[in-house]
Amino acid sequence: MSEIQTGDYYTRHFSPGPSDDTLIINMGPQHPSTHGVLRIIVELDGEYILRCEPVLGYVHRMHEHMGETKSYTQYLPNMGRVDYLHALAWNWAWCGAVEKLAGIEVPERAQYIRVLTTELNRISSHLLWWGAYILDLGAFSPILYAFQDREIIMDLLQIPTGSRLTYCYFRFGGVSADLSDAFLAGLKDFVPYLRGRLPMYRDLVTDNVILRKRCEGIGHFSPELCRRYGATGPVARGSGIDYDVRRAEPYSIYDRFDWEVPVLEAGDAMSRYLIRLAEIEQSLKIIEQALATIPSGDFIAKGAPKPKWAPPRGETYFAVEGARGKIGVWLVSDGTKTPYRVKLRAPGYCNLSLFAEAAQGVLLADAVSILGSLDLVIPEIDR
């Protein structure tokens, strides 16, 4: 049995402190605010956290090991299951790594299709986070609005991908199917629709004094803390770190569009909240420009790799910007149809790592607000 099961974990990591009044409790692994089977061991002095430690491993699925036992093509569906909320970003990371290793050129139309679908998927992820975060803090109505708008996105993405959640749409050299007129028309209608909904989000939730009290000044992350743990995405940008892979390490055609990287300096839960809502607006801006300039042509490269294809020997790394931060794929090929080594960088793992330090001294109720502001997807962390 493991040390956690035998109880040794508690005595080794949470031995009694100087006060006899401290209490050790489990937050999870079955707790609604952890958004998955995440367990956090918390030592409390009254309602204040003295120490806490996340415990992972409850949904570990060996994605990296599976990448070393499947062919490059067989591994594609795994990407939609690492982070099921922004699956297309993981699709892109895997395909981008293989394309970089093998020198595969992606047609221009396919590049536009990837941008359109990935940004739409990013909005879907942020909408689910927004509704679930407010639900964690005690308000029910917003998640209904979030899911109402997210349902439109899922209907749209179902047209080219055939799926509603765990997408496997990208292929080496492009995508599996072209965009239909129905998808393009629906997307053109969706952009102004969601823009019209954002003021309602602000009036209903963002400007609500109850939300402000639960988020402002709560969970302060300094830039140094974020850098020390490798935090990226809205978590880092909410602490004044101007880093977005799409801008800092440009890939595909993102440099052709006029858009901004939202950055705030306060470093609290409210900043991370505002960053994600601002990112929805920026994704709409990118989608609008891509729709206006999408060219005709092939949606996948001529002579794209077949299922049993093997890339040349070599090593590569490719990164994209996911809804939670920097997604990275490190890949080593020995020239066979099965990868020699696969290493996945999940942004949520780094973002969660700073929680134990940042939560010291805060109220237990505020820990829920801090956790929610991290936008955790446990299967991505516990990959």
Please report, in tens digits, the pLDDT of each residue of the chain (383 residues total).
Answer: 344 444 454 445 555 454 568 899 888 787 777 777 889 999 999 899 999 999 988 888 899 999 999 999 999 999 999 999 999 999 999 999 999 999 999 999 999 999 999 999 999 999 999 999 999 898 999 999 999 999 999 999 999 999 999 999 999 999 999 999 999 999 999 999 999 999 999 999 999 999 999 999 999 999 999 999 999 999 999 999 999 999 999 999 999 999 999 999 999 999 999 999 999 999 999 999 999 999 999 999 998 898 889 999 999 999 999 999 999 999 999 999 999 999 999 999 999 999 999 999 999 999 999 999 999 998 898 88
pLDDT of residue 30: 77
Residues 85/323, Cβ–Cβ less than 8 Å:
yes
pLDDT of residue 5: 45
pLDDT of residue 18: 46
pLDDT of residue 19: 57
User: How many residues in total does the chain contain?
Assistant: 383
Angle at 283 between CA 277 and CA 285, to 5 degrees: 110
Contacts by residues 225-228 (CB-CB < 8 Å, ≥ 24 positions apart): 225/354, 225/357, 225/358, 226/354, 228/354
Tell me how many helices (H) and strands (E) the chain has. 17, 8
The Cα 225–Cα 86 span in angstroms is 26
Report which DSSP code applies to 240.
T
- Alpha helices of the chain — where are they, by DSSP H? 3-6, 8-13, 63-67, 76-82, 87-102, 108-136, 141-161, 181-201, 209-215, 223-229, 234-237, 245-248, 269-293, 347-353, 355-358, 364-373, 378-381
Distances (CA, A) of 377 to 162, 231, 286, 337, 381: 23, 15, 25, 31, 7
Q: Identify the structural domains of the chain with CATH numbers, from first to last.
A: 63-381 (1.10.645.10)
Backbone phi, psi, residue 328, to 5°: -130, 145
Global pTM reads 0.93
